[in-house]
Amino acid sequence: MNATNRNRFQSELAIEAQGLVKLFGKMRAVDGVDLKVPRGSVYGFLGPNGAGKTTTIRMLATLLQPDAGSARILGHDLVKETDTVRNKVSLTGQFASIDADMSGMENLVLIARLWGYSRKQAKARAEELLHAFCLEEAANRQVKKYSGGMRRRIDIAASIVVSPDLLFLDEPTTGLDPRSRNQVWDIVRTLVGAGTTVMLTTQYLEEADELADRIAVIEKGKIIAEGTSGELKASVGSGRLYVRLLDPAARPQAEQLLAEQLETSIQLASDPAELSAKVNNTERVAHALGELARSGIAVTDFSLGQPSLDEVFLTLTGRTAEAEGEAETITEEMQA
């Protein structure tokens, strides 16, 4: 692909949505969402439970009809060209959509046959995917006997039997251990490297930081922030001061002193010797640290840095990404 075509490809949008709305009774699960997702990218879609992430994904994947607004998926109208859109996208939801009583091989062969593959082609494609996802040894084992990480890998494999132009991944690593999560991340990177656009919903801030080219934060059905990870971090303050004390018993005094000097609230870490604070004026930091020394409070380490994406999320929404909410349960029941 020459440079001109590559730039044109990158400038095209996989998703372009304006004013998407979804109602469930009187509840506005999605309330005027606008999105622009470039092709060939990973787009992170963050929000606490009940924010509208899954409902938005289900609309964009043609599983729910929008009540208002419009969207184009890979250049095709979401409502008027539904069949065309469905042939170009794939969705991996929060829960495995394959038959747990069948083996991994049987599931993939079945899906390939449904897509029109011959028996020989279906078996070859299944073997290819099982190898790529490191599931060869479990190929003939019932999926219900797979580990959590293996189940997520076979579910994603099933979603790309026919490689989609756009893949929706709805919280693909929920409940996985760190090793399995890293394996799924590697799969996502491989898919994007092969040309697939990925829209990823997640509650794991580290996951969005690691994978997403751009991130949208949704709260109560509305997009409240959008940008790169760095842009979102910069939007909530110039930086953050992290302090580690020699004596954990001195933390209450240090907390009070820093709050006075920096004129901001202090966050206490789980480590009893650590605390941190948002700072907008770096000149005050030097003075505050000097006051700690003059008060006899020994500091073993301190640093200034950008706020974490988790701190950005907390600032924007008033709660952590893992916070539970009743709205998502209600929405899921209405969608069922």
User: Over the stretch 59-73, which tens digit does the pLDDT of each residue have?
Assistant: 999 999 999 999 999
Residue 81 has a pLDDT of 96
d(CA 276, CA 198): 35
Does pLDDT of 175 surpass 50? Answer: yes
User: Over the stretch 73-131, which tens digit does the pLDDT of each residue have?
Assistant: 999 999 999 999 999 999 887 666 789 999 999 999 999 999 899 999 999 999 999 99
Does pLDDT of 225 surpass 50? Answer: yes
Does pLDDT of 336 surpass 80? Answer: no
Does pLDDT of 202 surpass 90? Answer: no
Listing from the earlier edge strand, what are the strands of the sheet with 27-38?
27-38, 13-24, 68-73, 76-77
Look at 9 and 284; give whichever has higher pLDDT: 284
d(CA 98, CA 107): 7
Q: Average pLDDT, stretch 229-257?
A: 87
Q: Average pLDDT, stretch 254-274?
A: 90
pTM for this prediction: 0.74
Confidence bin at 304 (pLDDT 50/70/90): confident
User: Over the stretch 5-45, which tens digit does the pLDDT of each residue have?
Assistant: 444 444 589 999 999 999 999 899 999 999 999 999 999 99
- Phi and psi at residue 32, in whole multiples of 5°? 85, 50
